[in-house]
A and B are shown apart, each in its own frame.
Chain A
Amino acid sequence: QKEVEQDPGPLSVPEGAIVSLNCTYSNSAFQYFMWYRQYSRKGPELLMYTYSSGNKEDGRFTAQVDKSSKYISLFIRDSQPSDSATYLCAMRGQGAQKLVFGQGTRLTINP
């Protein structure tokens, strides 16, 4: 069983829809949780960064962490075609430098 599980999709939704992307993990030592966005033929870039449990909002994006359930989510409101990309969750423990990534979810927003 992988340390981090993410549904690879693909996920296709109409423009304007609310998108929910999720990851589950098994290592209770993970403290820092990230979402990276990767456009086709590009490198991943950091989208959201959260520490421990709770919510973080940045514009149309909201990241949620539920450590008790070992579950993290990324919500995209008012989705746009420019949001079409692969979204990777990543996490690490306190003091660790190595990230553990999910498999990535390929998302397409249809105009």
Chain B
Amino acid sequence: DAGITQSPRYKITETGRQVTLMCHQTWSHSYMFWYRQDLGHGLRLIYYSAAADITDKGEVPDGYVVSRSKTENFPLTLESATRSQTSVYFCASSEILAGGRILAKNIQYFGAGTRLSVL
């Protein structure tokens, strides 16, 4: 199916465990993003990537690691999960170029989210 997919949709883990959340997009968009969504905070950017092998920190990167070896995949790893990382995680992608020109209007498309509980 075309679009952006996240897996798993639900995950329960224990503190100290390593967890990897997957994100896959079929549009070949250049940019990909990871957000977490918590009550009272809205969507907060964890990490983003402008292209394969190019990643950068967002607002709340501590405790997370990302990689982007292929354009279509952008996994997010919690190296040692903590209870404060219980949240809903969303992946998004966007494209800034079309026909070699920068798009004035670029839209972020979101996946359905991964609901993570750290016990």
Instruction: List the interface of chain A (C-beta within 8 A of B).
Output: 6, 8, 32, 36, 41-46, 49, 51, 88, 90, 97-99, 101-104
Known contacts: A44-B110, A88-B42. The answer to whether A97 contacts B105 by CB under 8 A is: no
Sample of 13 more A-B contacts, CB < 8 Å, known A36-B110, A43-B111, A97-B94? A32-B105, A42-B112, A42-B113, A43-B92, A43-B112, A46-B107, A51-B104, A88-B43, A98-B45, A98-B58, A101-B43, A102-B42, A103-B42
Inter-chain residue pair count (beta carbon < 8 A): 50
Q: Is the C-beta of B74 less than 8 angstroms from some C-beta in chain A?
A: no
With beta carbons under 8 angstroms apart, the residue of B40, B41, B106, B110 that contacts A45 is B110
Known contacts: A49-B107, A103-B41. The answer to whether A97 contacts B50 by CB under 8 A is: yes
Q: List the A side residues contacting B94 at CB < 8 Å.
A: 97
Total interface residues on B, using CB and 8 Å? 25
In the complex, what's the smallest C-beta–C-beta distance from B2 to chain A, in angstroms?
Answer: 15
